[in-house]
A = this chain, B = another copy of it.
Amino acid sequence: MDFKEIAKSAKKASFELANASEEIKNRVLSAAAKGLEQNSKMIFEANIKDLDAAKELVSTGEITPSVYKRLKLDENKLRDMIQGIRDLIKLPDPVNKTLLRRQLDKGIILEKISCPIGVLGIIFEARPDVIAQVSALAVKSGNAVILKGGKEAVNTNKILFDIIKKAASEVEGFLPDALQQIFTREDVSEMLKCDGLVDLIIPRGGNKLVQFIKSNTKIPVLGHADGVCHIFVDESADLEMAVKIIVDAKTQYPSACNSVETLIVHKDFPYAPALRDTLIDSGIDIVDNPQEWHHEYSDTTLSYLIVPDIDTAINHINTYGSGHTDAIITNDKQNADKFISLVDSAGVYHNVSTRFADGFRYGFGAEVGISTNKTHARGPVGLEGLTIYKYNIRGNGDIVSDYADGTKQFHHKDLEI
């Protein structure tokens, strides 16, 4: 099918889904979870096909071992995926919430009501678990979704999507056109041109993918291009705490976007040599003069910078960071407050690991990704980030000219929600 037809049918279905009851949406999630549970054998078979093909690409160096690892779907990952969908059922419906109710004048009532965005276009790389997570988030938030996964996971993605869509189709009141999957680069190119039909693009992948998409579409793009996170060890930091946090932030999952890339140390921190030695002993490679300060290693390498004061640290982060997540380790509350106020990032932490930047850890249930945008949604994006609002006014024949010519005056008054 021509992509434009896919987008049009998704748009049409999105209007229905926007008004679907919480009960219908939860039934879809429940059916999807059950479908995945009952068809695990087919899923693993498809995944093995992808893994076999990928194995060759690893041997020729076309894909990295870490991509191969992310591609693998085992019993544990499938169980987590299914549990993730079921967890969403328990979360409150983010749609149709009254955010404001205001009398503009006697008999004229303005309401601001949360609603879905419309049609989401999600472009992601190798991890097939994204399919289930994102479809479920889209349904719960009332959005239609068009998914494009990485070609390495094509068989796994296809079977997961087909199972979810089939299960969803059997729920009365749900239009299956709200769930769409595309496979080719040509379809992605077409999607980027479909402003007016596709309302938001969410790329989940590397810097190159995100920059390409931003340069080639008028559709708003939500996501992060990279995660150059910092930890600043202040003069008064506790050595033991610093070691514990930095080791966690660098080694617990080095390829995560919320891992630390640059360690900044105050020149008067007395335990700097001990800190360095302990980090090296923990398997961290320290680089003192990196070619670029804005660099995401995605492994256990760590840039290292000594600064004369906290202001230099903050300025360095705001200049070379990616606005993702940055932390200060200090026992000085005033410096902690200053750092939190002045660092311009989605997450700014005091005495905790940068790895906490995550929708599940924030209690959002799940996330569609982490945003370093300065508009719409910032940080981990859960259900709320997939909604917008509209304004309704109900009146009784009211016209503006009465207010323009002074016959009437506005009497704004907020009413109980």
Inside 8 A of A349's CB, which chain B residues have their CB?
Answer: 392-395
B contact residues around A147 at 8 Å (CB):
none
User: Which residues of A, 5-50, contact B by the 8 Å Cβ criterion?
Assistant: 15, 18-19
Q: Contacting A410 at CB < 8 Å: which of B18, B245, B361?
A: B361
Chain B nearest CB from A177 CB (Å) reads 15
* A388 at the binding interface (Cβ < 8 Å): yes
- On chain B, the residues within 8 Å of A398 by CB distance are 351-353, 356
Give the docked Cα–Cα distance between A224 and B52 (Å).
50
Q: Say yes or no for A285: interface residue by CB 8 A criterion.
A: no
Contacting pair B404 A252 (CB below 8 A): yes
Stretch from A74-82, A263-271, A370-378 forming part of the interface with B: A370-378
Q: Given known contacts A342-B19, A400-B361, is B375 in contact with A388 (CB within 8 Å)? A: yes
> Given A104-B362, A218-B214, A342-B15, do A252 and B399 touch, yes or no (CB 8 Å)?
yes
Contacts of A336 in B (CB 8 A): 394
* Contact with A118, one of B19, B245, B341, B344 (Cβ below 8 angstroms): B344
Q: Is A238's CB within 8 Å of the partner chain B?
A: yes
Number of copies of this kind of chain in the complex: 2
**What 1/0 flags go to A172-213 for Cβ under 8 Å of B?**
000000000000000000000001000110000000000100
Give the residues in chain B near A215, CB-CB below 8 Å.
218
Q: How far is the CA of A199 from the CA of B336 in the complex (A)?
A: 26
Q: Which residues of B contact A388 (CB under 8 A)?
A: 373-376, 378
A379 to B373 alpha-carbon distance, docked (Å): 20
Q: Which positions 57-74 of chain A face chain B at CB distance < 8 Å? A: none
Say how far A171's CB is from chain B's closest CB, in angstroms: 20
A393 to B326, CA, bound (A): 10
Contact of A351 among B245, B249, B352, B397 (CB under 8 A): B397
In the complex, which residues 107-128 of chain A have their Cβ closer than 8 Å to any Cβ of chain B? 108, 110, 117-118
Contact A400 B199 (CB under 8 A): no
Q: Is the CB of B345 within 8 A of A244?
A: no
Give the contacts of A343-381 with B (CB-CB under 8 A): 344-353, 355-357, 361-363, 373-376, 378-380
Q: Assess whether A53 is interfacial by the CB under 8 Å rule.
A: no
Write out, one digit per residue, whether chain A residues 236-249 have a CB within 8 A of any chain B CB (1) or not (0). Answer: 00101100110111
Is A222 interfacial (CB 8 A cutoff)? Answer: yes
List the 4 closest pairs (A to B, CB-CB), nearest first.
Answer: A248-B399, A363-B412, A352-B395, A355-B400
Q: Show 18 residue pairs from A and B whose CB-CB distance is below 8 angstroms, ordered by the A residue.
A: A18-B342, A104-B362, A118-B374, A199-B374, A215-B218, A238-B397, A249-B399, A347-B390, A349-B395, A350-B393, A351-B394, A356-B400, A357-B391, A361-B410, A363-B410, A375-B375, A376-B388, A378-B390
